[in-house]
Amino acid sequence: MPSPRQVVAQALAAPQATPTVEEPLTAHEIARLKVHFRFLKEHRNLLKLRVNAAEDLLLNGVREPSHRGLCNHLLAKVERSRVLTVSQTMPPAEAVRLLGGVIRFAPEIGYILRYLECVKLTSSQAQAGAAVTEALKQIDFSELSAAQMRQLVALISDVFAERDLPIFLFSLLYDEPFRTALDRSLDGFPEVLAGMVRPLRAVHEVIANTASKDAGNREHRGPKNVDLQDLKAGVALMLDVNPLSLVELSESTRKRLFYLGCETLRTERGTRSEPLLQLLQSLTFAQLSEQTSATVSLVGAMLGAGEEAAAKKLIERARRPDDTGSILGRWRSALDSPRVGPVAIDAQRSNRELPQAGRWYRGWHVSTQSIVLIRYGEPAEQAVYAEQIELWRRLLVPGTSRIVTASAQPTKRPYVAVELLGYPLNREVQKGSRFEEPLRLRWAVEVCALLTALARQGAVLPDADLNRFNTDQDGRIWLVDLWGLRREEPDAALLAHCNWARKSCRQLVTLSPCYSLSADAYERLENEIDIAQLARIFDP
């Protein structure tokens, strides 16, 4: 007895040119028709066949098949609706026999799909999977309706092992007709299937478009309508499969999946890092720098996910014992440094012990691997820190450092850590002639602008010393240190900040003379009480 896979293969074998009805039957065709007619005779009543006298003779084997048109007419009397309805009421094993006979002479997709559904219920998972795989090789997906496509995907979902299914479906998406048919039917998928199909479709869209871009395809347009949550869910599905299935993917696909997986591990709870380690080990790199970059990505993702112990192990395997200056070496050193909350204090400055509280220190935010400034206090200062944190977070002023992490929990050491952008302005100013006059004038205007914006939001600094500011490589001013903020009415805050701005601007233009400023401008600098007018002194 042929296996379900053989039945499907024979039914869907590539058709030859259809002979005319008057063309004589071959001996092979006659033998096949006799098999079909015996099948129809056996199921005549079940299928409610209505035949004439000549057709009755064919069914009973009294008359040899001789006329092609007559034989085709008899086979065509099998009604699709009747076959499908009957198969729904029959025991699955009997339905398999019925449908297996029908698809031998009528290999319509509706019959094929129903046959596969019944095979799923009666055969082993391996046999059912082989039959579905055979069907996928030969089905013309362009001829499938949206409902039939959903039926096919449901079959695939049922017959393949859960841990192999995502990779199998993902591989099918590289077939354009399958992908097009799937896209036509996506909106009608039940939620259970949609929760797998849509995410995998999103992953394929991103990976395939990345491949197109990397290949220099001039028609590359980038991923279309990719939902970020679908993408993350799809990557998580791919990473949860049998590791052996992952290795079977192409090198380029594994590499792109690896980097997508690192981003997902960092942001999505429940994502596992073990598959990413296996992917990393399976990749080949043309240069050591590429391998290091991939390792850094995975270590960073592990730290973002809170897997610090695993990150340390990976660093130890990847770096050389004497390698302390590389990024992995610096990260490894930071992981052994003293901590305040999620921030490691600069080990060189702290000598592996927490320095004195109440000052700003350079630190390393472990989960984001970003450099921060951190200030911390004693548990008794919880209320002070809570107020400062609340005021700082309320501010929406461009050019001010944002809080990266902070805490003022009772009985615990309070802290606030902020972005560290650029380099201390006071040090840059002290370098003197390195900075041209127009840049120092612009800094003066920016200091006034920042202090004005703070004041209009009802916040006052205790001073505006230059050590509160940083400047980045583009010469832009950043207000990094807002410690000591207090609430104040905007008018009073503007007046106070005008005084602070005058002192800061004086430092900027007098340490190295600004020849474009007139004597009158220097006099106004000493006496101006309106911060907006003060800024105009330096605005060319």
Question: pLDDT value at position 150?
Answer: 94
Domains in the chain with CATH codes: 1-139 (no CATH), 337-419 (3.30.200.20), 425-537 (1.10.510)
Is residue 163 left, alpha or beta, with left meaning phi > 0 and alpha meaning psi from -120 to 50?
alpha
Place of tokens 């007559």: 70
The model carries a pTM of 0.80
The Cβ of residue 176 has, within 10 Å, a number of other Cβ atoms equal to 9
H or E element in which residue 373 lies: strand 370-376
Q: CA geometry: angle at 409 spanning 489 and 468, to 5°?
A: 45
Per-residue pLDDT of the chain (540 residues; tens, 9 = 90+): 678 888 888 888 756 557 787 888 889 989 999 999 999 999 999 999 998 998 889 898 889 898 888 999 999 999 999 999 999 999 989 999 999 999 999 888 999 999 999 999 998 888 888 999 989 988 999 999 999 999 999 999 998 888 889 999 999 999 999 999 999 999 989 988 999 999 999 999 999 887 655 555 545 444 567 889 999 999 999 999 888 888 889 999 999 999 999 999 998 888 889 999 999 999 999 998 899 999 999 999 999 999 999 999 999 988 776 666 789 988 998 999 999 999 999 855 546 678 889 999 999 999 999 999 999 999 999 999 999 999 999 999 999 999 999 999 888 899 999 999 999 988 877 775 556 788 888 999 999 999 999 999 999 999 999 999 999 988 899 999 999 999 999 999 999 999 999 899 888 887 666 767 777 777 777 777 888 888 888 876
| Residues in a beta bridge with 375 | 360, 416
- Share the mean pLDDT of the chain: 88
Nearest CA-CA partner of 343 in 318, 323, 368:
368
Instruction: Please name the amino acid found at residue 97.
Output: R
* 312 within 8 A of 332, measured Cβ to Cβ: yes
H or E element in which residue 416 lies: strand 415-419
Cα 178 to chain centroid, rounded: 23
Beta strand 370-376 with 415-419 is: antiparallel
143-155 tens-digit pLDDT: 999 999 999 999 9
Question: pLDDT value at position 220?
Answer: 44
Question: pLDDT value at position 321?
Answer: 64
| Cα–Cα distance for residue pair 178/59, rounded to 1 Å | 40
Alpha helices in 240-360 (DSSP H): 243-247, 251-267, 274-282, 288-304, 308-318, 327-335, 347-350
| Cα–Cα distance for residue pair 347/81, rounded to 1 Å | 77
Question: pLDDT value at position 217?
Answer: 54
